[in-house]
Amino acid sequence: MDCHKDVMKSAYSEPTPSEGMIVITNRMQQLLKASLASLLVGATSVASAGDVTGAGATFPAPVYAKWAEIYHNANGTAVNYQAIGSGGGIKQIKKRTVDFGATDAPLNGKELKKIGLLQFPAIIGGIVPVINVDGIEPGQLRLSGPVLADMFSGAITKWNAPAVAELNPDLKLPDKPITVVYRSDSSGTTSGFTTYLAEVKEGFADKVGAGKTVNWPTGVGGKGNAGVAANVLKLGNSIGYVEYAYVKQNKMSHAAMINKAGQTVQPNDKTFAAAAAGADWSAAPGFGISLNNQGADAAWPITSASFILMFLEAERPEQSAEVLAFFDWALTEGQEPALELDYVPLPPETVKLIRTAWGDIKDEDGAVVYKPAH
């Protein structure tokens, strides 16, 4: 069992106390327990031809683990997933050392074609601005995309700046400097966040950048979502950005956002789903679209999906078939467990498109690997 604990420590390592570690909440313990259960399923089960392996993004790991636990109990197939980060997942699938890879930053069509991969979304989440300002309750502060971009670029330096006050006439904003908290590591969350800011604010990409790592001109770094959350909770008059689950886990104060339609929206499963529903998933190869800044009235403006990567030419068709059977089950039967863990399932129309795309995965004889269960 000690070796399994070491695996979990590596896969889900959080900032050390010197990096501003926060007390793990009951919610975080629940997620870690689910993840450990999944790893133990794979580690303690007798290996069979049907068992499959995957690696990649950390954001969806808790829900993948929960799905794997339920699926194993129902079907006997072990799905062993290593949360090593999106970049690691891409490297692993390229080397064919796993049956599927997972990434929060989708590959573009050129990359998919060059490698010979199929890409499809599996789950949806949101990126949320979080604040620590005395007297402001969760969801009270309203921000627009351009104002948020100016805060993170250093163009707006005080909470009571005219641009912020104009959006919040009923709030007493302090005459205090804004402390920006950002991700210090290479991050899919940063990629989604900065891509949005670059889209809504001219010049942001030139000054700061847009991608997994950027040149933040001001602020304090935190390792991982937990590091950002810890620093925001610790530092007064601060603002940062984290994935939605961390807002709920740590009961953080968040900002409402003015979306593309001009509506003020709060982060929740309905606004994330609205962003996904309004998206044209067929607009890019591998469903690799951005869910940011969608035009629906109820859409949360900084929304992202997490993606699965598989080879179109299945060297091990039995394993590929098992992977697809697992996600076939997860995209329907796994919806309730996903919601319980603060994730948003994909819309039914999108699931239909995904299942159609699975027909492109074939064995060496050209036979379709996917066997529909629905």
259-274 burial string, b = 16+ CB within 10 Å, else e? bbeeeebebbbebbbb
Closest CA to 120 of 132, 141, 106, 109: 106
- Taking residues 5-29, report their average pLDDT: 37
Classified as helix, coil or strand, 148 is helix
Q: How many CB atoms lie within 10 A of CB 97?
A: 11
Residue-wise pLDDT for 303-336, tens only, equals 999 999 999 999 999 999 999 999 999 999 999 9
Residue 374: band (very low, low, confident or very high) from pLDDT cuts 50, 70, 90: low
Residue-wise pLDDT for 53-90, tens only, equals 999 887 787 789 899 999 999 999 999 999 877 888 89
The span from the CA of 165 to the CA of 99, in Å, is: 52
Looking at residue 315, its amino acid is E
Max Cα–Cα distance, the chain, nearest Å: 69
Residue-wise pLDDT for 133-186, tens only, equals 999 999 999 999 999 999 999 999 999 999 999 999 999 999 999 999 999 887
Q: Tell me the two tokens of residue 161.
A: 């700046």
pLDDT at 19 over 80: no
DSSP for 174-238?
Answer: -S-B-EEEEE-S--HHHHHHHHHHHHHSTTHHHHT--SSS---SSSEEESHHHHHHHHHHHSTTE
* Length of the chain as a residue count: 374
- Taking residues 337-352, report their average pLDDT: 87
Cβ partners under 8 Å of residue 99, min gap 6: 52, 53, 54, 310, 316, 319, 320, 322, 323
Residue 50: band (very low, low, confident or very high) from pLDDT cuts 50, 70, 90: low
Domain boundaries, the chain: 2-126+302-360, 127-278
pLDDT at 13 over 70: no
Q: Tell me which of 3.90.440.10, 3.40.50.2300, 3.40.190.10, 2.40.40.20 is the CATH number of domain 127-278.
A: 3.40.190.10
Q: Which overall architecture, per CATH, does domain 2-126+302-360 show?
A: 3-Layer(aba) Sandwich (3.40)
The span from the CA of 244 to the CA of 259, in Å, is: 17
**In this structure, are residues 194 and 214 in contact, taking their beta carbons and an 8 Å threshold?**
yes
According to DSSP, residue 73 is labeled: H
**pLDDT (0 to 100) of residue 84:** 79
| Residue 115, burial from CB neighbour count under 10 angstroms (0-12, 13-18, 19+) | middle
pLDDT at 11 over 50: no
Cβ partners under 8 Å of residue 111, min gap 6: 117
Residue 21: band (very low, low, confident or very high) from pLDDT cuts 50, 70, 90: very low
What is each CA distance from 267 to 126, 260, 299, 305, 346, in whole angstroms?
Answer: 7, 15, 9, 15, 17
Average of per-residue pLDDT values in the chain? 86
According to DSSP, residue 306 is labeled: E
User: Tokens 């604990």 sit at which residue?
Assistant: 5
Q: Is it true that 2-126+302-360 and 127-278 share their CATH fold? A: yes
Q: pTM for the full model?
A: 0.77
What is each CA distance from 49 to 52, 79, 318, 321, in whole angstroms?
Answer: 8, 12, 8, 11
What is each CA distance from 209 to 38, 95, 157, 193, 290, in whole angstroms?
Answer: 37, 30, 19, 11, 17
- CA terminus-to-terminus distance, the chain: 38
